[in-house]
Amino acid sequence: MKTLWLIAIFTTVFSANAVAQQKCKEYAPAASILAFCPPEGWDGNQDQGEKHPTFVKKVADGEFPPSVMVKEEALSGAAELFVYGMLKGTFAQDKMTNKKVVDISDFKTASGLAGTKFVSEMDMDGHTMRYVFYVFEGPKNVKLTFINIATAEDKSTAVAFEASMKSIRIKK
């Protein structure tokens, strides 16, 4: 009987471990240095002239569709200056009001890639929009930027996006 209990315990532990280690549907294009797991169920829409698709969450009609834009660009200078320029451009838009930086913090992925997370909010068309930028330095001055745009009230998107950002890695 003791043996049956041990077998049951080991089976349960190994089954739970296998489920926890299941791979996501990783996005890792051959012509890129990056790999990551977009939020599950988000569709990738390729815009003309962009290296990477924008991943968009499916929502009901009339709801704001959260998205993740991926940028990979070789630029000289610090990654933080790159994001500052993007924020400045976003804040310059006349249709947005009550613009503020909410948080700037260090961020580390599960693979150990260190970067910076910038969170900003602004009002647009009756909604408080949250822009979250994750910026990483890649090899040869490559800047990897992930930009999530969603309503500030959409907490489930924030959780899914944060988990997705933890999966970012530089391919070997």
The predicted-structure confidence for 10-42, as pLDDT tens digits, reads as follows 443 333 333 334 478 999 999 899 999 999 999
- Which sign does the torsion angle of CA 5, 9, 10, 14 carry? positive
94-152 pLDDT per residue, tens: 788 898 999 989 999 999 999 999 999 999 888 899 999 999 988 888 888 899 999 99
- pLDDT confidence tier of residue 2, bands split at 50, 70 and 90: low
- Reference 153, options 118, 116, 117, 126; nearest CA is 126
Which tokens is 166 given? 């933890």
- The per-residue pLDDT for 143 is 86
Q: Which of 148, 159, 163 is nearest to 66 (CA)?
A: 148
Record the pTM: 0.79
**Nearest by Cα to 38 from 171, 165, 170:** 165
- At 137, the amino acid letter reads E
The CATH number assigned to the domain with range 25-170 reads 3.40.1000.10
